[in-house]
Amino acid sequence: MKIFIIIGAINAFLAVGLGAFGAHGLEGKVEPKYLATWETGVKYQMYHALGLIAIGIISGNVSAGSLLNWSGWLMLVGIILFSGSLYVLTLSGIKVLGAVTPFGGVAFLIAWVLLIVFAAKHL
């Protein structure tokens, strides 16, 4: 499933760019607590970008099952909801957006559990 490698690489690229923007473009423009929030979003985006790349590599070596596919798509949903909400929160200061972040975290957790189950059954 080269789609997961491509999506993972795009997200890794974005994480590097957004990390640089946060470190250089936001410094002095947002409160330090929001810089930390931004950094958390970047870290989790990168971790899960690497997870997506791993899923793509695994699916190229074994017959990909629905567990593996769901794991990849949930990692992408998690990046959008978790990291995306933290980025928007940092830039806007709208605290209610923090309510979206846990849904992304749950998507990440489910994605990792599905990957564990896939590995236990098929590897």
- Does the pTM surpass 0.75? The reply is yes
Structural domain that includes position 46: 2-122
Which residues, in sequence order, are CB contacts of 48 under 8 Å at separation 6+? 11, 75, 76, 78, 79, 108, 111
Q: Number of structural domains, the chain?
A: 1
Q: What is the pLDDT of residues 31-40, one digit of tens each?
A: 999 999 999 9
CB atoms within 10 A of CB 94: 10
Output the furthest CA–CA distance in the chain (Å, rounded).
50
Tell me how far apart the alpha carbons of residues 54 and 32 are, in angstroms, rounded to a whole number: 33
Confidence of residue 62 (pLDDT cuts 50, 70, 90): confident
Q: What is the pLDDT of residues 64-92, one digit of tens each?
A: 689 999 999 999 999 999 999 999 999 99
